Amino acid sequence: MSSITSGERLILASELKEKANIELVDVSSFRWEEEFSQWRTRLQGKWNAAYECIDRHVEEGRGERVAMIYVNGDIKEEITYSKLKEETDRLAYVIKSKGIQRGERVFTLLPKTPNAYVAVLAIIKAGAVAGPLFEAFQEDAIFERMHNCDAKMIITDAELKQRVPLSKLPALEHVLIDGDGADKGAGEYHLQEELATITDEDVAQVTEWMDENEGMIIHYTSGSTGQPKGVLHAHRAIVQQKKTGEWVLDLKENDVYWCTSHPGWVTGSSYGIFAPFLNGATSLINSGRFDANEWYSYIDRFNVTVWYSAPTAFRMLKAVGGKELIERYNLSSLRHVLSVGEPLNPEIVKWGYEQLNVRIHDTWWMTETGAQLIVNLPNQTIKAGSMGRPLPGITVAILDEAGNQLPAGAVGQLAVRKGWPSMMREIWKNEEKYHSYFPYEDWYVSGDLAFQDEDGFVFFQSRDDDMINSSGERIGPFEVESALITHDAVIEAAVVGKADELRGEIVKGFVVLHPNYEESTALLEEIRLHVRGKLAAHAAPREIEVLEELPKTRISGKIMRRLLKEQA
């Protein structure tokens, strides 16, 4: 079969409707104002995201439903919503008993186990702001975030505590150690000992009721320059996280849902904690490194129905084996698969459609947006290579450098009209940076370059500073990368601009070759001509370099083109 490139092929909802068994939803008349009105009427000013994620289900008779299935090799543990309520109540009480006040920042540094999820939810239940850290962060990354945020408490374990520069954090007052190894002489607390003394009466009124605009969770996002930026989200974000969980993830209470991201990243919180629990689904939580056989076995063993992962993971699955590997497992439970973290190459959409027998739905959003904004809804057409169309209630535009809206097909700044529920409340201690996202009054400018076609589908081109200008032609790296990986020899690809006296810049490609291919001058020229035949002469890489692996951010798998540009 021929390979697909951006927009070349439509995948219709009807093609997989019966296989996916996805309920069709009419969202044409949706307005966020009406949705907010319903929440405000029901909550009467008493907001708490953790209560909505857990306690509400218990009070409404769903306490014995399984909230989490934890798997790590042969280890398996199930936690019901009732058990999750009990554990978060008790930990919230410990947090409040140490004097933590509403709005103060409490960080977590824990492995990807149920305790990491319990800790985040307990912090929120106690009225504090949760600051989840990825377990692979080292000392500098931990210090930058905790120091900037004036963290008052951290929940960690004895091993990971070694990376926390306790003496450099003057605001830090309490260290709760999960498991053994607490240094009580240094003011640390053994968490299990603290929990053992709590009575039912202690936790009866533990939930702190918040205003919708009070802080709930803070994630840090890094740019190409400067220190990480603290993006604060308020409790009101759950309105959009619940709705996108319902519409975009298509979550039902009988679903087994697997989000592969750690809660230390925004995907792992917005769509690993809030969206599934708000919708009463069962979440699969896995520890350990990527292993194709193990990942497929999870879908088989636990009848995973909805799966949210990253393009890097799908590319790795594609690289390690085709039908022969897939057919070792029963993947028939899968009815809905989604992708996030970076644009989804058309070739991966094709692979999922042909090998997994599912459509892979791209989603676009950012740490700053808090929830999905541009999506491929399960009951609508997909255009391979497109990020999708704006979520109902969301207005998207492509703007020029003066803030004017561009016509269909023109590449410009991807912008979103501000006011959606999960929009960041602030950049911590950096009001100037916050306002820089809104240079044209009502528009949030994402930093991505894209175009929108006549049907409303949005196509990513590059980050604003990644665009290549060669002989007056503007070339988007993503389109060239997508063409590169359609060659059988190429597993992964990244493209940057390299300075050139004659052309200003030339297109330079970096590729990871399939193990069945050996690098040679003839092969690289074949790959270059392959791209030229798919796109155009000016878009074909004039140089191609083979790497063992591409530099990427952890977990999200975004290609770090900045490092490749320096190398070029």
Per-residue pLDDT of the chain (568 residues; tens, 9 = 90+): 233 444 456 776 545 444 444 455 566 778 899 999 999 999 999 999 999 999 999 999 999 999 999 999 888 999 999 999 999 999 999 999 999 999 999 999 999 999 999 999 999 999 999 999 998 888 888 998 999 999 999 999 999 999 999 999 999 999 999 999 999 878 899 999 999 999 999 999 999 999 999 999 999 986 544 578 999 999 999 999 999 999 999 999 999 999 999 999 999 999 999 999 999 999 999 998 889 999 999 999 999 999 999 887 898 898 887 788 999 999 999 999 999 987 788 888 989 988 999 999 999 999 999 999 999 998 888 998 899 999 999 999 999 999 999 999 999 999 999 999 999 999 999 999 999 999 998 999 998 999 999 999 999 887 766 767 676 566 778 778 888 998 999 999 999 888 877 667 889 999 999 999 999 999 999 999 998 887 767 778 999 999 998 887 654 567 777 788 777 7
Q: Do domains 10-30+289-463 and 49-57+81-233 have the same CATH topology?
A: yes
- Start-to-end Cα distance in the chain: 34
**Where in the chain are the domains?**
10-30+289-463, 49-57+81-233, 468-567
Tell the CATH topology of 10-30+289-463. Answer: Rossmann fold (3.40.50)
**Single pTM value for the model:** 0.84
- How many CB atoms neighbour CB 225 within 10 A? 7
CA distance 176 to 420: 36
Q: Looking at the structure, give the CATH architecture of the domain made up of residues 49-57+81-233.
A: 3-Layer(aba) Sandwich (3.40)
Element (H, E) at 77: strand 75-80
Looking at the domain that runs over 468-567, which CATH code has it been given?
Answer: 3.30.300.30
CA distance 298 to 286: 9
Beta carbons within 8 Å of 233's beta carbon, 6+ residues apart: 215, 216, 217, 218, 219, 370, 422, 424, 425
Q: Is the Cβ–Cβ distance between 5 and 383 less than 8 Å?
A: no
Helix segments in 437-558, DSSP class H? 477-484, 521-534
Q: Where does residue 351 rank: exposed (0-12), middle (13-18), buried (19+ CB within 10 A)?
A: middle
The answer to whether the Cα torsion of 405, 410, 412, 415 is positive or negative is positive
